[in-house]
Amino acid sequence: MDNLVILFVIVPLGSAFLIPIIGKFIPHFQKALSLLALLFLCTLILNYLFTGNSQCIIYKVAGWEAVENVPIGIYLVLDGLSAFLLLIINSIGFLVVFYSFSYMRKYTAENYFYTLLCLMIAGMNGVVLTGDLFNLYVFLEIAVIASYALVAFGIEKDELEASFKYQVLGGIASLLILLGISLLYWQTKTLNMADISHVISTQADSKTTLFIQIILITGFGIKGAMIPFHAWLPDAHSSAPSPISSMLSGVLIKAIGIYAIIRLFYNMFAITYEIALIITVIGTLSMVIGGLLAIGQWDLKRLLAYSSISQMGYVVIGIGMGMLILISNGDKMVASMAVAGGLFHLINHAVFKGLLFLNAGAIEYATGTRDLKQMGGLAKDMPVTSSTSMSASMAISGIPPFNGFFSKLLIIIAAIKGQYYLLAALAVLVSIITLAYFLKFQRYAFFNKTKYTGSALVKEVPFTMAFSMIVMGVLCLVLSLLIFPGIREIILSPAVEVLMETTEYSSKIIGL
């Protein structure tokens, strides 16, 4: 497996290179290559996880070895946390590609779509694998530049406007991240994250480090659409083609925003109370305000976009609480539970929110509208879309036995055991609010007495779209098994252990 790590970047990048060249001459080449590439990567990461050999793998690009324990080359690091994210990125990407076979027929530039999608996946894979900050920035830019183009893919006025807003705010975020990286290099004379961690631990300049941390939280907070950095997300998600909305909400904001914050502030910087508090407050604001903003939406994809902000707040709260408990010398079991709840909700959100955006795309595909007021009675004509959206709605609302219930339960129990009673109460309240606006979605779209009266003949979507929705609907139940020992130890626990062993990351990579 050691020499196969680089394939997570090379395979999608190579696919993105071949599609626009060969796809012009061979019909459906772009679909077959994208699907096979992602199927191969899913197989690769599942093999790593299920062989029980989940040790940290370090791939040194071009064979550059460390000199006197100073890493001078580019490192790719595959550990429990990066494997967890790779599983999310490539499995959701695979289902989205399959869904796109039918959905993207209405567009004339399918070659460009699959090229950009492969580029975005290559960038995200690179972000979660890289061991140095400069290449994290490079891979991040590959992913977001592809996403800018995909948001504007329909080249209508609203799509171009949304993409422009996304680019402006994304550009500001990139500048802040690059500034933070530059200041870290000036302070530590290295870009390797493990080496930076070692150097910072021997320095006493805490004010400079705190300033850099705040800059990076702001930059990655914009990328992850955390409140108050969320302005780009509702327009971008509602304007993009639905498969891309699924990737943006289900995967992209996690890989280039939330993951980066988790990795840097657990494994590179020393945990401090101030930063832990900032992260927890941002998570709380996102959870509450995102939920309140979602209630009043009648555009289905905007409702889902604001809901993404709210649900990612749960993830950030779990991560932030874990930091607060660790820095206050609290019970490490409770901290571990909070982190596990946050990561559990991360994978759950990728599935149920990815599915909900695919459901929204199916409804728009069949009816030509995203306005809930113009829908009604679709359950009879679209049984697959109706049943899978009900599964996802129950999952995101935290209704047992669906997966969202167990991840939210872990976060709430950890908050109570850690004596963060306000966070526990808010988490329960927002879950009730979430149930309210998803019941609104179900009622107006599928069960309203006033039936859809548009000109389009409503029928169930084609097989490829239905298949992806069915698989994700099943996963909304199957992922509940992660709460049980045995399965949890294979997928979730290795990621939690990487974060709980905050100082081990540096020693595993550079031996210090």
CA dihedral sign of residues 381, 387, 388, 390: positive
**pLDDT given for residue 2 in this prediction:** 67
What is the number of alpha carbons within 13 Å of residue 22 lying toward its C-beta? 14
**Most distant CA pair in the chain, distance:** 73
The span from the CA of 471 to the CA of 39, in Å, is 15
**pLDDT given for residue 296 in this prediction:** 87
Neighbour tally for 108: CB within 10 Å: 9
**pLDDT given for residue 202 in this prediction:** 80
Pick the closest to residue 342 from 400, 278, 290, 414 (CA basis). Answer: 414
Encoding tokens for residue 422? Answer: 């306000």
The span from the CA of 269 to the CA of 498, in Å, is 14
Tens digit of each residue's pLDDT (9 = 90 or more) over 281-321: 999 999 999 999 999 888 889 999 999 999 999 999 999 99
Tens digit of each residue's pLDDT (9 = 90 or more) over 107-139: 777 888 999 999 999 999 999 999 899 999 999
What is the 8-class DSSP label of residue 26? S
What long-range pairs does 101-107 form, CB within 8 A, spacing at least 24? Answer: 101/31, 101/464, 102/461, 102/462, 102/463, 102/464, 102/465, 103/241, 103/242, 103/243, 103/361, 103/365, 103/465, 104/241, 104/243, 107/153, 107/154, 107/241
Pick the closest to residue 272 from 322, 324, 221 (CA basis). Answer: 324
Encoding tokens for residue 246? Answer: 């699924």
Torsion angle (degrees, nearest 10) of CA 29, 33, 36, 38 = -140
What is the number of alpha carbons within 13 Å of residue 419 lying toward its C-beta? 5
Tens digit of each residue's pLDDT (9 = 90 or more) over 464-475: 999 999 999 999
The span from the CA of 249 to the CA of 244, in Å, is 8
* For range 415-437, the mean pLDDT: 94
The span from the CA of 314 to the CA of 423, in Å, is 10
Tens digit of each residue's pLDDT (9 = 90 or more) over 316-342: 999 999 999 999 888 899 999 999 999
Residue 154: pLDDT band with limits 50, 70, 90 = confident
Burial 120-139, CB ≥16 within 10 A → b, else e: bbbbbbbbbbbbbbebbbeb
**Residue 339 contacts residue 362 (beta carbons within 8 Å):** no
**pLDDT given for residue 208 in this prediction:** 86
DSSP H or E run through 126 = helix 110-129
Which segments of 152-253 does DSSP mark as H helices, in order? 157-188, 193-201, 206-223, 233-239, 242-247, 253
Tens digit of each residue's pLDDT (9 = 90 or more) over 44-90: 999 988 886 668 888 888 667 766 666 777 889 898 899 999 999 99
pLDDT surpasses 60 at 455: no
Encoding tokens for residue 55? Answer: 């040790």
pTM of the model: 0.93
Q: What is the DSSP string of 423-466?
A: HHHHHHHHHHHHHHHHHHHHIIIII-SS---SSS---PPPHHHH
Pick the closest to residue 395 from 469, 340, 473 (CA basis). Answer: 473
Burial 482-505, CB ≥16 within 10 A → b, else e: bbeeeebeebbbbbbbbbbebeeb
What is the number of alpha carbons within 13 Å of residue 392 lying toward its C-beta? 30
DSSP H or E run through 77 = strand 75-78
Encoding tokens for residue 372? Answer: 């809930």
Percent of the chain's residues with pLDDT above 70:
95
Q: Is the peptide bond before 228 cis (omega within 30 degrees of 0)?
A: yes
- Print the SS3 string covering 283-325: HHHHHHHHHHHHHCCCEHHHHHHHHHHHHHHHHHHHHHHHHHH
Residue 478: pLDDT band with limits 50, 70, 90 = very high
**Poorest-pLDDT segment among 241-250, 350-359, 453-462:** 453-462
38 burial level (CB within 10 Å; 0-12, 13-18, 19+):
buried
Question: What is the CA 315 to chain-centroid distance, rounded?
Answer: 10
Pick the closest to residue 317 from 236, 223, 425, 402 (CA basis). Answer: 425
Tens digit of each residue's pLDDT (9 = 90 or more) over 253-291: 888 889 999 999 998 888 889 999 999 999 999 999 999
Q: Is the peptide bond before 401 cis (omega within 30 degrees of 0)?
A: yes
Q: How far is CA 70 from CA 302, 372, 509, in A?
A: 48, 58, 10
pLDDT surpasses 60 at 457: yes
Encoding tokens for residue 391? Answer: 């599964």
Pick the closest to residue 387 from 434, 341, 355 (CA basis). Answer: 355
The span from the CA of 433 to the CA of 133, in Å, is 39
The span from the CA of 221 to the CA of 333, in Å, is 28
DSSP H or E run through 59 = strand 57-60
334 burial level (CB within 10 Å; 0-12, 13-18, 19+):
buried
The span from the CA of 314 to the CA of 489, in Å, is 22
Give the chain's mean pLDDT: 89
